[in-house]
Each structure stands twice: as C-alpha cells, then as structure tokens.
Amino acid sequence: TEGATVVNISGSRSSKTFKPKKNIPEGSHQYELLKHAEATLGSGNLRMAVMLPEGEDLNEWVAVNTVDFFNQINMLYGTITDFCTEESCPVMSAGPKYEYHWADGTNIKKPIKCSAPKYIDYLMTWVQDQLDDETLFPSKIGVPFPKNFMSVAKTILKRLFRVYAHIYHQHFDPVIQLQEEAHLNTSFKHFIFFVQEFNLIDRRELAPLQELIEKLTSKDR
C-alpha cells in the first residue's frame, strides 16, 4: 500500500517515496495513536489534531508524529525528485538568503557544502537511521524512551523542516503542475501546528518560511 492513501490526478507519481516508508507496527499502542491522529485530522481541525491526547505520554506522541512527518515529507519529495537535480540545485537552499551545509556529528563532523539532492539524501538517510534505532524510538510496549529523546526529536524535526523549505522555495512550480499543492500545504500546516504546540523548533530556524507560516496559521487562531 505504498502511498496508497494519497489519491490524486497525477496517479502513479504520488506513490513514489524517496526512501522506504517507515511503518509503525500494527496492533501496537503507537499504531493506535497514529490512528487517533488520523481520525482527528479528518475532522479538519489541525489545532485540535496536534494536541496531546488525554493520558498519553508526550514522548510517544512526538515519536509517532515524527515518523508520520518523515513519511509525508518522504512522499512529497519523492514526487519532485526529477526536478531537484545536481544541475538545478547545486546548493541546498531555501531562497537566496538561506543555504544549508550538511553535518551529522558522527560521519560528517565538519559541515560540507553539497547539492540539494545530495543534502536531502543525507538528511533523510540520517532521519531513517534515528527512527530505526530501537534505543531512541522504542516500538515495544514498556520500553522507555531515552533521556535525550526530546533533543533528538527536535533535531529531526528541525532538519525535516528544511526539506519543506527547499520544496517551497525552489520547486513550487512543479508542485502546482502535479496538483500536489493542497497536499503540500496541508502537510506543512499540520507540521507547523505540531511544532508550535510543543515548541519543538526555534523561531530562527523557521525564518525561511515565516511569511507562509503566518499566512497558513493566521486563519486558525
């Protein structure tokens, strides 16, 4: 069912993910939380949808949503990879004022300047590795989250934001051509409401899309 939940006119393109989808095991508590999130999203009230459900663990809620955002961004970027090339995007940027250099602190300690497709490949692979690490993102019931979980989640979300920022600034035309605009806006709005609700990304980091954020969130105050 890779990407089968998204039905759009561009047909088969929508099912192309950039990296393999990260599945939350069915029958697990996290799966139930994901279903809860999807149900509240269906009501159309995004502010309500991001709130911590009563009696739930914040770490677990952040974990489930982080996996979900990874999958969403994975699919959105997957639809425009043909347009994001070494030639079109020799640097990873979000408009003329913002350029990103890659470092993950382990394999690449000193930030390197690289093309957007290379940067996003590094970034999504790095996120995938974090999500697959059972000591960081435990999928088994009763296994506690590590003490540094929130700071890791914040770094993941901060980096995932950069993929949205790059798509909006550099590839919005193909997004419109592919009729993915509503999908992108809804996904990003959900993401922003979520990080605002739990104060997960520093305002400075959100600067490349500040105007858009104000536009998307002002209607829902």
Query: Comparing C-alpha atoms, which of 198, 192, 194, 200 is closest to residue 165?
Result: 192
- Predicted TM-score (pTM) of the model is 0.89
Q: Which residues fall in the annotated binding site?
A: 84, 89, 166, 171
> Residue 29 and residue 134: Cα distance in Å, rounded?
15
Let me know: does 206 contact 161? Beta carbons within 8 Å.
Answer: yes
> Residue 6 and residue 9: Cα distance in Å, rounded?
10
85: left (phi over 0), alpha (psi -120 to 50) or beta: beta
What letter would DSSP give residue 52? P
Q: Which residues fall in the annotated binding site for Zn(2+)?
A: 84, 89, 166, 171
Residue 8: what pLDDT?
34
Distances (CA, A) of 141 to 26, 135, 153: 12, 13, 19
Q: pLDDT tens, 82-94?
A: 999 999 999 999 9
Q: pLDDT tens, 90-130?
A: 999 999 999 999 998 888 999 999 999 999 999 999 999 99
